Amino acid sequence: MCILFLYVANNPSPDSYKVVLAVNRDEVYKRPTQVASFWGTSPDVLGGRDMQSGREGGTWLAVSESGRIGALLNVLQSAESLSNASQRRGRGFLVNDFLLNPSVDAVQYIATFRHVYGIGNSFIDIPFQKVIHGKEAFTRVVSDNNSLDKKESLINGILEILKNQEKFHPDPQMYKQAADQPETFLHGISSRFIKLPGYGTRTHTIILVDFSNNVFYQEITLKEPINEIDQEWMSSSFEFKINENNNSH
């Protein structure tokens, strides 16, 4: 499970952010993960990485210095359809491939989208209730704080949305997708911030891109090994300017 909120400005002003991205990563607590950093193999790419045996190096979210942002979310499925999930090829390299593939002009592509989006683990046009309510809150926060001098308020407002534990259960769309999943599981994942035995929200990421193509990237993640009872969070942030002349990545 994961959840993503995206704002792309229609006519950004010089003192505002033209892209605001907020993501929760929900994952098994024991799954080894490398915290956000610039990748040694691709030093112009920034993001966390999956270190699960056999899937090392994949990612759920990353950004490149050329302005590409790639994110990956799961689709909630029935227990039966997930019975052989461990045998399937990891999808984390889909993001890697997009970030490292120069065939798509990412700046031109994202410029065609001007809206606020909320995406969870269903089809984008049939969102879960937690996504609907989260999108409304995200829209308000961005609208009220979209200026460079309100950066701290913007980040704090987004974090409140990502950390919100209000349950939206029962959710009809969840039952349509995964009616055979345990009731306790469906109840547990009906909030934006998830905390279940062995599984939950373990990383918040916020990416801001201003009018001048300056990127701010903040990751707040659980410190490994994760103590489920006494969770310890750590924060890191990065800043760089998009290099529009870098067409190799």
pLDDT digits 0-9 by tens, 131-156: 999 999 999 999 999 999 999 999 99
Is 246 inside a domain boundary? no
Task: Please give the DSSP secondary-structure letter assigned to residue 149.
Answer: G
Question: Which structure tokens are listed for 162?
Answer: 């990502």
pLDDT for residue 174? 97
- Residue listed under structure tokens 């700046």: 107
The answer to whether residue 36 is domain-embedded is yes
- Which has the minimum average pLDDT: 24-33, 104-113, 127-136, 169-178? 104-113
Residue 247 forms part of a structural domain: no
What pLDDT, on a 0 to 100 scale, did the predictor assign at position 112?
Answer: 57
Q: Domain for residue 13, yes or no? A: yes
Q: Are strands 199-210 and 116-119 parallel, antiparallel or unpaired?
A: unpaired
pLDDT at position 18 over 80: yes
Rounded Cα gap, residues 147 and 14, in angstroms: 9
Distance CA 209, CA 222 (A): 25
Distances (CA, A) of 97 to 42, 52, 86, 134: 12, 18, 22, 29
Domain containing 237 — which CATH number? 3.60.60.10
Q: Is residue 249 part of a domain?
A: no
Instruction: Report H helices in the chain.
Output: 93-100, 106-111, 129-145, 151-162, 172-178, 183-188
Q: Would you tell me how many other CB atoms lie within 10 Å of the CB of residue 97?
A: 9
Q: Is residue 127 part of a domain?
A: yes
Number of domains in the chain: 1
Q: Using an 8 Å Cβ cutoff, are 180 and 134 in contact?
A: no
User: pLDDT higher for 218 or 100?
Assistant: 218
Residue keyed to tokens 């308000």: 140
pLDDT of 66 > 80? The answer is yes
**Of 46 and 109, which is predicted with more confidence?**
46
The pLDDT assigned to 57 comes to 85
Please state, rounded to an integer, the average pLDDT across all residues of the chain.
90
DSSP state letters, 70-98? EE-------TTTTTTGGGSPPSTHHHHHH
Banded model confidence at residue 248, pLDDT cuts 50, 70, 90: very low
